[in-house]
Amino acid sequence: MKISKLSPNFEVTDIRKTVAFYAEIFGFNLIMAVPETQDGIDQTFAENKEYVYAMMQKDNVEFMFQRSDTFKNDVIFSRGQNIGATVSFYMDVEGIKEFYQDLKNKNIELTELKTTWYGMQEFYLKDLNGYILGFAEKAQ
C-alpha cells in the first residue's frame, strides 16, 4: 500500500464561518463546496444556499470541513464525540515570526512562540471549532 496524501476532514458546526476564518486568518482558498441539497458542487458560496462541506487549500495543504450532522452520518465512529480533538495538525511554514506577530493582533487563543529542544520554532493555536493547529519553522 502506498499513501499519497493526507487531507484532514474537520467536523464543524458552520461551514461559512469556518471557511471565513481559514481564509481571513491563514489565507486558505475555497476549492469547492457542497450545498445542503447535495445535488452538485459549487466553486464559490451562493447567497441563498446552506452548505454541508467545503474543501480549502493553501500551498500544499488541503483541509476539508464537514457540517456536524452529515459528518456524524458519514463517519459513524464520531457519533457521541464532541467536536475538537486531542490531536494537533502540525504544519511546517516559512516566515513564522512574522506570521506569529500578525496572529497576535487577532482575537485568537495561541501559545507563545518558542524554540524547542528539537530545533524548531513553533506555536499552537485553537481555531473557532476548538481544533489545535501547530506551526513550526526550523530555528535559525
Query: Over the chain, what is the mean pLDDT?
Result: 93
d(CA 31, CA 119): 34
pLDDT, tens digit (0-9, with 9 covering 90-100), for 22-62? 999 999 999 999 999 999 999 999 999 999 999 999 999 99
In the numeric block, which cell numbers belong to residue 64? Answer: 476539508
pLDDT at 69 over 80: yes
What pLDDT does 3 receive? 75
Which one-letter DSSP state was computed for residue 113? P
Residue 140 pLDDT greater than 90, yes or no: no
Q: Give the neighbor-by-neighbor strand order of the sheet with 51-58.
A: 9-12, 61-67, 51-58, 29-35
Contact 52, 66 (CB under 8 A): yes
* Percentage, residues of the chain above pLDDT 90: 82
Characterize 94-104 residue by residue with b for buried, 16 or more Cβ atoms within 10 angstroms of its Cβ, and e for exposed. eebeebbeebe
- For residue 82, pLDDT beyond 90: no
Q: Mind listing the domains of the chain with CATH numbers?
A: 1-79 (3.30.720.120), 84-140 (3.10.180.10)
Q: What is the pLDDT at residue 86?
A: 73
What pLDDT, on the 0 to 100 scale, is given for residue 83?
86
User: Which residue has better confidence, 83 or 18?
Assistant: 18
What is the structure's pLDDT at 122?
95
Under the banding of pLDDT at 50, 70 and 90, the label for residue 6 is confident
pTM of the model: 0.88
